[in-house]
Amino acid sequence: MSRYESLLDALGDTPLIGLPRLSPARDVRLWAKLEDRNPTGSIKDRPALAMIEAAERDGTLRQGSTILEPTSGNTGIALAMAAKVKGYGLVCVMPENTSAERKQLLQAYGARIVDSPAAGGSNEAVRRAKELAQSNPDWVLLYQYGNQANADAHYRGTGPELLKDLPEVTHFVGGLGTTGTLVGVGRYLHEHKPGVHVVAAEPRYGELVYGLRNLDEGFVPELYDADVLTGRFSVGAYDALRRTRELLEFEGIFAGISTGAVLHAALAMAEKAVARGESADVAFVVADAGWKYLSTGAYSGSLDEAAERLDGQLWA
Amino acid sequence: MAVTVSIPTILRSHTDGAKSVEAAGSTVLEVLDDIESRHSGLKERLVKDSKLHRFVNVYVNDEDVRFVGGLDAEVSDGDTVTILPAVAGGAR
């Protein structure tokens, strides 16, 4: 890793870092894959670039095209960078209750932001984006929730990188949003490492996000493949923040809040292995660093205060 | 065996507005049956053809029961059972 022809070429090949202080036993170890070491600082650079390249190959994306995408931040930022470099326009549909930094970054890259209502979270952004795609047929909706190139980016990149660095891997834990990371990495690991556990950590938001939704309108991303996951956790803001701070305190890693939720699930799986007397190597994804969340107050004050401040925000 | 069951806003009409209820049982199904005996109507919103409704998730101590036995997932004294509508999201 040293010299690249352009920023886009510097994608991937991220480091895998051992966590000797947070690992619960000598033979039950935790490993963090630092996806913030990507061109725009998040794992979303992988699917964003893969989706753009797939759309270029099949001819839907041409010079001067405008890309449309529902995103709560990182995918939008990744697309905005790639769009800037490659000469496309970008319209992001984003829930209004995401952190200020994400909006500022998108604006810095020249993306146009369409707000979707806070209540309903990402589901509403998806619905709005689909509406906009209908009324603007010349815009190209990449649609990360159903775009196979999203999962493929992890099947071809993140998964093989992980297995190369950690052939003894027993567990993979990642965040659950579009499901692209878990489906792509999970599929690759199941093929090459039979018996591996693939575990999702889903953010559990406050009442505002869930409150108004109807059970019959639940949204399951088209990419989701139920056969890939072997376990799933739902993690609230308090535990996500607690683990985010522990990662910084004990291992020096300054991660975003969703990483705390992932670490919470990774530690639960590690503790289960300890209880059963089994050895384990638990790898998890650090999706991004903490910079974009400083304004939420996640890293200061008491955990209760910080969790309260996050209530009603899409923190992952 | 007492467990705490948290109820999503959308289903609180079945629990007289309560955010959480206490219940007894050694499996998720027994817990839901126990709640049903006092708050009728809740179970049919969650269970369809003896399985969890597709768009409902139930967690025991944050872990999704679909991966640990479904309605037969074990519940122990002091556990927290969380009922949630399925939702997509994330920094994505």
Q: Please state, in angstroms and rounded to a whole number, the distance separating the CA atoms of residues A21 and A78.
A: 32
Q: What is the layout of strands, in order, in the sheet containing A140-141? A: A112-116, A89-95, A66-70, A140-141
CB contact under 8 A, B56 and A215: yes
pLDDT recorded at residue B92: 33
Q: What is the mean pLDDT of residues A85-110?
A: 92
Domain boundaries, chain B: 2-85
Return the minimum-mean-pLDDT range out of A19-28, A210-219, A255-264, B4-13: A210-219
Which residue of B68, B83, B87 is the best one to mutate when testing the A interface, meaning the one whose CB has the most A CBs within 10 A?
B87
* Chain B residue whose CA is closest to A120: B87
Pick among B59, B66, B92 to test the A interface (most A CBs inside 10 A): B92
Q: Does A60 count as an annotated binding residue?
A: no
pTM: 0.90
- The structural domains of chain A, ordered by start, are 7-37+157-306 (3.40.50.1100), 45-141 (3.40.50.1100)
Choosing from A33, A44, A193, A292, the catalytic residue is A44
Give the DSSP H/E element, type plus range, for residue A48.
Answer: helix A45-57
Structure tokens at B61: 């101590």
Give pairs for B65-72: CB < 8 Å, separation 24+: B65/B28, B66/A232, B67/A229, B67/A230, B67/A231, B67/A232, B68/A231, B69/B27, B69/B28, B70/B28, B71/B27, B71/B28, B71/B29, B71/B32, B71/B47, B72/B27, B72/B28, B72/B29
pLDDT in tens, B6-16: 998 888 999 99
d(CA A109, CA A73): 13
Neighbours of B55 (CB within 10 A): 17
A23 tagged catalytic = no
Question: For position B87, what pLDDT does the model report?
Answer: 55
Contact B89 A216 (CB under 8 A): no
Q: Active site includes A44? A: yes
Q: Does A239 touch chain B (CB under 8 A)?
A: yes
Compute the distance between CA of residue A234 and CA of residue A232 in angstroms, rounded to an integer.
7
Q: Give the model's pLDDT for residue A100.
A: 86
- State the smallest CA–CA distance between residue B30 and chain A in angstroms: 22
Whether A296 has its CB under 8 Å from any CB of chain B: the answer is no
Please determine, looking at this structure, whether the domain spanning B2-85 carries the CATH number 3.10.20.30. Answer: yes
Using 50, 70 and 90 to split pLDDT, how confident is the model at A56?
A: very high
Distances (CA, A) of A54 to A1, A58, A59, B26: 25, 6, 9, 50
Q: Is A180 marked as a binding-site residue?
A: yes
Q: What is the mean pLDDT of chain A?
A: 92
CA dihedral A159, A160, A166, A172 (to 10 degrees): 10
The answer, yes or no, to whether residue A217 has pLDDT greater than 60, is: no
- Among A61-70, A207-216, A260-269, B39-48, the range scoring the smallest mean pLDDT is A207-216
Query: What beta strand segments (E) does A4-123 contain?
Result: 16-18, 28-34, 66-70, 89-95, 112-116
CA distance linking residue A258 with residue A244, whole number of Å? 8
Given a contact cutoff of 8 angstroms between Cβ atoms, the answer to whether A139 and A68 are in contact is yes
Q: Is A211 on the interface with B (CB under 8 A)?
A: yes
What are the angstrom distances between the C-alpha of A223 and each of A3, A49, A92, A226? 34, 17, 20, 10
Query: What residues contact residue A151 under an 8 Å CB cut-off, 6+ apart?
Result: A179, A180, A183, A184, A187, A223
Whether pLDDT at A14 is above 80:
yes
